A and B are shown apart, each in its own frame.
Chain A
Amino acid sequence: GAVVSQHPSRVICKSGTSVKIECRSLDFQATTMFWYRQFPKQSLMLMATSNEGSKATYEQGVEKDKFLINHASLTLSTLTVTSAHPEDSSFYICSASHREGTLNTIYFGEGSWLTVV
């Protein structure tokens, strides 16, 4: 079946640096991918919708200059956390929607744990 792969699964970075997280659809083309953030013991909150070949659509309250999203191909979306701060430490997870017959099936990546020290 369709698979979405996310990398890295865990990353530690220093404050002020940038870190990139990749989300790949392995056996299907995804024109749209979604990035969620989950703080400890909280729910998943949508950050942005990643659109292939165009700008991402950010949810209210998400800084687009801090969380850069690039969807350069139909199988890859990247999320770059720029000038990371400790409060950016969180679980980031992506999803992609795949049309299967008449249904859109949603596949999630494995998620990425970001720790900013």
Chain B
Amino acid sequence: AQKVTQAQTEISVVEKEDVTLDCVYETRDTTYYLFWYKQPPSGELVFLIRRNSFDEQNEISGRYSWNFQKSTSSFNFTITASQVVDSAVYFCALIASSNTGKLIFGQGTTLQVKP
């Protein structure tokens, strides 16, 4: 069975603080993809990153960085110097390579960045 767990339901930080959103996944597939999406109040899903299971290199994109560790089945997301505009719900998701597009989402983490 496939499962994604985001243990943090809500996180509140003050602007300019760094914040890490945790994601732990379960899958029996050896080839799979992991995703992070941002969902602002308007509802649309904003794609942030896709990582395949064979690429454990950490990635940095501006203030965003991701730490993928297969040994612990984790794919954590860090926002450096958070801003109020980062306030949103963030979802981690998983898809097996054999699947054509069916995503398994975590429960989501609501991030509130206060000025």
Chain A: residues with CB nearer than 8 A to chain B?
32, 34, 41-46, 49, 91, 93, 95-97, 104, 106, 108, 110-111, 113
Contacts and interface: CB of A to CB of B under 8 A. Distances in A.
Given A108-B44, A108-B45, A44 B102 contact: no
Contacts of A43: 91, 105-108
Interface residues of B, number: 17
Judged by DSSP, the binding face of B is: loop
Contacts of B107: 42-43
Contacts of A44: 45, 91, 103, 105
B100 A97 contact: yes
Interface of B: 35, 43-45, 47, 91, 95, 100-108, 110
A32 B100 contact: yes
A96 B101 contact: yes
B53 to A, nearest CB: 13
Contacts, number: 46
B43 A110 contact: yes
B45 to A, nearest CB: 5
B63 to A, nearest CB: 23
A38 to B, nearest CB: 8
Contacts of A34: 101-103
A113 B44 contact: no
Given A34-B102, A43-B105, A43-B106, 9 more contacts: A32-B100, A42-B108, A44-B103, A49-B102, A93-B45, A104-B100, A104-B101, A110-B44, A111-B43
A96 B45 CA distance: 13
